Amino acid sequence: MIKVWDYLPEYKKYRKSFLNAIDEVFKSSTLIFGPKLNKFEDNFKKYIGVKYGLGVGNGTDALYIAMKALNIGTGDEVITTSNTAVPTVTAIVNAGAIPVFVDVNDYYLINTNLIAKKITKKTKAIIPVHLYGQSCEMDEINKIAKKNNLYVIEDCAQSHGAEYKKKKTGSLGNIGCFSFYPTKILGSYGDAGFITTNDKKLFEKMMRIRFLGMERKKMSSGHWNGKYYAVEHGTNSRLDEIHAAILLIKLKNLEKNIKKRRQIAKRYYKELKNTGLLLPEENKKNKHAYYIYVVQHKKRNKIMSELVKKNIHLNISYPWPIHIMKAYKKYALRSSKDLKKTNFFSKKIFSLPMYPELTLKKQKYTINSLKEILSNLS
């Protein structure tokens, strides 16, 4: 069977080092806020190219904590896209704010030409989502933000290692928010997230918010050596030692894995460019990290069901844009008619298998199966 994503081949390869690292954590008597997290925070912030980084429970929390640190709350508006994962919007609403949706461009990313007309007196921030592994047009976004006194919170949940003008996503706005959900380009074996910034004050505030509003303290030998005293209202969102240990191992392979993803993308592009599928394009300013490889075809349902017969199981990211979902459509009253591309793409997009251990044999089988199905479509 070929799946769109599969972690088991990786697990077979690194099982011993993962289990050793977890055993080390269990034996260390420090399960939360210990040396593994400190080291991972240090290594990942350096990898991204920022001054400060902190591990949190997941990517949704990362976005929520970022907004809370920027005092974004009730009645404030936050501009983002509707072609994204639900949590981008969950976090905005959790913060008490209102999501305002802007349509996407042909890279499936926020159309920077359409942002200005959505800005009101209530707008506080823009959340560009570097969807599918490709960076948004950050110069334009930062320019608009500066002109209108807005914050920029990058949603980097799908863009670990992706670059814009040779800089990594997560280093391009006020705050960068990452997810290490298992499927991600850098994924753990459970939930985890990360926040990046170059602003010391914001970093310190986010550190308090992630731990119940308390000052940063270390847990040593199972004993809490700080004052159990909340200086502000926070939440509980911690990246534990087990996940930090796994991520430390996986971070070492990240660049190599992105290279493999790019090779797979290159092969898909070369082999499928004249088959009638619309393939993803890489903006010249970017290094695409190919979290997923999204293609378009108006007969996608037929193609996907034919592929299932050949034991290839694909996925759609995302079949329903957020603005049509029951939970969130009330926020789209002002914008739904402006989301033409978002609506159009959602009916045609689907994702081909993409993960570093996808074998050449499986890539070729997928490509040949697609070619055969596409040539038989009338």
Ligand X SMILES: Cc1ncc(COP(=O)(O)O)c(C=O)c1O
- Which chain residues interact with ligand X by CB under 6 A? 58-60, 84-85, 87-88, 129, 155, 157-158, 179, 181, 191, 193
Q: Which two tokens stand for residue 344?
A: 């159009």
Burial letters 82-93, b for 16+ CB under 10 A, else e: bbbbebbbbbbe
Q: Between 154 and 306, whose beta carbon lies closer to ligand X?
A: 154
* Closest separation in Å from C-beta 293 to ligand X: 15
Enter the tokens of residue 81: 């896209």
Measured from each CB, the residue nearest to ligand X is 59
Residue 238 vs 362, nearer CB to ligand X: 238
CA dihedral 144, 88, 338, 324 (to 10 degrees): -170
CB 94, min distance to ligand X, A: 11
Name the DSSP class of 337: G
- Tell which residue, 100, 106, 86, 91, has the closest CA to residue 335: 100
Please give the Cα distance from 102 to 109 (Å, whole number): 10
How near is the Cβ of 311 to ligand X at its closest, in Å? 27
* Secondary-structure breakdown of the chain: helix, strand, coil percentages, each rounded to the nearest 5: 40, 15, 40
End-to-end Cα, the chain, rounded Å: 27
> What whole-number distance in Å separates Cα of residue 152 and Cα of residue 26?
39
- Closer by beta carbon to ligand X, 83 or else 171: 83
Minimum CB distance to ligand X, residue 292 (Å) = 10
In this structure, is the dihedral angle defined by the CA atoms of residues 178, 344, 377 and 310, taken in order, positive or negative? positive
Nearer to ligand X, 63 or 373 (CB): 63
Residue 187 Cα to chain centre, angstroms: 10
* Shortest Å, Cβ 29 to ligand X: 28
User: What SS3 class is residue 89?
Assistant: helix
In the complex, least distance from residue 60 CB atom to ligand X, rounded to whole angstroms: 3
Integer Cα distance of 300 and 282 in angstroms: 22
Minimum CB distance to ligand X smaller for 58 or for 123:
58
Distance separating alpha carbons of residues 363 and 235, to the nearest angstrom: 43
| Closer by beta carbon to ligand X, 18 or else 132 | 132
Question: Of the two residues 62 and 272, which places its CB atom closer to ligand X in the complex?
Answer: 62
Q: How near is the Cβ of 152 to ligand X at its closest, in Å?
A: 15
